């Protein structure tokens, strides 16, 4: 009853709803209710067989951290809603996470000992400082320290400046590969990048490495590791991958994900304040790093390997912006800073920046991955006899697309404004526009160059370069006795860029 006042507020501090409500039990509470002082709560999370989030048979990094979410419960118990009165909402600001052992799996229970050390006030904004220690079967599992979160009004969130990075954090800092480093998969020289569209990532999720990365990855694996699917499908495409690029010269990847208002992670987090969890942002960056490591040739059977944080390495998260239902696209920019083998097991260390609609909002430092189940020896044996050195796919550098498959698909069957911007908003509904064909008769994947013309200016002389990736299992091969592309498809593939240019 002392908390009944919060029931009438437009928002209040919440735990996430299912499927991201990860507190199975609250075992103990310490602290004076409503006091806005220090407090403590002990919770547990059970990892069940068949849990929706399992990745390689283990709890993923983001879920392991997110399950320590009862700092939300504790801040409510200590009385934050009596101060915010539903006019300010919770946002994570900072956290540092260090794992002490490998990730647990089904049948195990994680215990979280969560403490709020103090509340503070900056103007009208309330913040609090927190930490937790977690364990599995009484053994240390992970520590979250230097946690800071605040409660912000809509005006404060709208006025946020995003991530402010010092020039020193952007300055090149070249590093070297280990002295005994051996290339496995073919690698382009620095400055030559590759790009991968939604279809390529779908092939990777289905276990078809060669369809994603090229014929060099036809390695005879029965069920190769890829990227997670279902709710844990967190990146849609990779516009840029440079295996010798980035701030440290050890690899750069830029990945994208489309945001939709009904995305599960928004709808459940939180029920009256939809916002993407910071832990999931971290996991998206890990998936981008994982894609880069797969492209390096760190592949194997999915039943024999997994992805885990590097024990003893503290990863830091700094959040200075939000992803809401109004966000259209998020981008993850990962700079690899260390690659090698520790005790024979491959590992990587990286820094990451997340952008929301082009604006930097989250910084992740010393993000780590190790791949137990893989060894340097296994990888050398797997790739022995395969071509190494300079990559053969693609045969020419693949430029960053000016218009990618997602925008082209929007022009074909979606909202034309998502393809060409505000001037085409009038065609999103109620008015007819000349369109490209949709799948399966769409034979255009990206526009890579535009010369001699400006958008929305009807003048002759414009030129574009377009690309179409011919799938090895395209429907028209199966339908044609000669197993070649029918002439009608070839003509259509040449015609569709003309229609696109007319619309542009």
Catalytic residues, which ones?
Answer: 269
CA distances 310 to 113, 142, 336, 369, Å, are 22, 11, 14, 6
- Name the residue among 273, 258, 241, 55 with its Cα closest to residue 154: 273
Question: E strands of 164-313, at which residues?
Answer: 194-196, 237-242, 252-258
Helices assigned H by DSSP within 60-208 = 61-66, 71-77, 80-84, 154-159, 198-205
Please count the residues of the chain.
504
How far from chain centre, in Å, is Cα 348?
A: 17
CA distances 33 to 116, 128, 161, 418, 469, Å, are 13, 16, 35, 49, 61
Give the largest Cα separation in the chain, rounded: 78
Q: Which residues contact 69 (CB under 8 A, 6 or more apart)?
A: 15, 16, 22, 23
Kindly state the tokens that stand for 493: 């593939």
- Name the residue among 9, 4, 80 with its Cα closest to residue 39: 80
Specify burial of residue 65 (Cβ count, 10 A radius: 0-12, 13-18, 19+): buried
Q: Give the separation between CA 486 and CA 484, rounded to whole angstroms.
A: 6
How far from chain centre, in Å, is Cα 413?
A: 26
In 3-state terms the chain splits into helix, strand, coil percentages (rounded to 5) of 25, 30, 45
How far from chain centre, in Å, is Cα 311?
A: 22
- Name the residue among 60, 17, 50, 46 with its Cα closest to residue 228: 60
């Amino acid at each position: 009853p002392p908390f009944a006042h919060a029931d009438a507020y437009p928002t209040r501090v919440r735990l996430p709803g299912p499927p991201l409500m990860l507190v199975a039990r609250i075992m103990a509470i310490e602290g004076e209710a409503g006091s806005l002082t220090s407090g403590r709560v002990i919770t547990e999370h059970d990892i069940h067989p068949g849990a929706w989030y399992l990745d390689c048979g283990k709890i993923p990094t983001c879920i392991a951290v997110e399950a320590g979410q009862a700092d939300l419960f504790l801040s409510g118990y200590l009385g934050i809603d009596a101060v915010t009165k539903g006019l300010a909402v919770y946002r994570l600001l900072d956290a540092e996470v260090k794992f002490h052992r490998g990730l647990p799996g089904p049948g195990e229970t994680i215990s979280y000992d969560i403490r709020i050390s103090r509340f503070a006030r900056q103007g009208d904004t309330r913040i609090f400082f927190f930490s937790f220690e977690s364990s599995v079967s009484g053994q240390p599992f992970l520590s979250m320290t230097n946690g800071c979160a605040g409660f912000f009004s809509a005006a404060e969130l709208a006025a946020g400046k995003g991530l402010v990075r010092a020039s020193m954090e952007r300055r090149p800092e070249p590093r070297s590969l280990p002295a005994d480093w051996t290339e496995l998969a073919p690698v382009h020289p620095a400055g030559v990048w590759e790009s991968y569209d939604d279809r390529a990532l779908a092939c990777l999720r289905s276990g078809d490495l060669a369809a994603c990365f090229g014929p060099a990855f036809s390695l005879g694996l029965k069920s190769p590791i890829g990227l997670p699917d279902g709710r844990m499908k967190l990146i849609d495409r990779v516009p840029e991958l440079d295996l010798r690029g980035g701030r440290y010269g050890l690899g750069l990847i830029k990945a994208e994900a489309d945001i939709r208002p009904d995305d599960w992670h928004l709808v459940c987090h939180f029920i009256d304040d939809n916002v993407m969890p910071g832990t999931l942002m971290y996991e998206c960056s890990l998936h981008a790093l994982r894609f880069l490591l797969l492209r390096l040739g760190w592949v194997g059977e999915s039943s024999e390997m997994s992805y885990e944080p590097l024990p003893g390495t503290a990863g830091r998260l700094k959040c200075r912006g939000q992803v809401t239902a109004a966000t259209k696209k998020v981008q993850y920019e990962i700079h690899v800073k260390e690659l090698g083998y520790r005790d024979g097991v491959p590992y990587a260390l990286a820094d990451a920046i997340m952008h929301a609609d082009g604006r930097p909002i989250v910084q992740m430092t010393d993000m780590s991955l190790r791949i137990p189940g893989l060894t340097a020896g296994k990888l050398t044996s797997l790739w022995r006899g395969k071509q190494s050195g300079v990559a053969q796919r693609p045969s020419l550098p693949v430029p960053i697309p000016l218009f990618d498959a997602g925008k082209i698909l929007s022009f074909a069957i979606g909202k034309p404004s998502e393809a060409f911007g505000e001037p085409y908003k009038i065609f999103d509904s109620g008015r007819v526009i000349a369109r490209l064909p949709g799948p399966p008769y769409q034979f255009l994947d990206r526009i890579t160059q535009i010369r001699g013309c400006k958008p929305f200016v009807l003048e002759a002389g414009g030129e574009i370069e377009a690309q179409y990736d011919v799938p090895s299992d395209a429907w028209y091969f199966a339908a044609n006795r000669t197993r070649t592309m029918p002439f009608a498809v070839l003509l259509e593939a040449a015609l569709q860029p003309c229609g696109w240019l007319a619309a542009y």
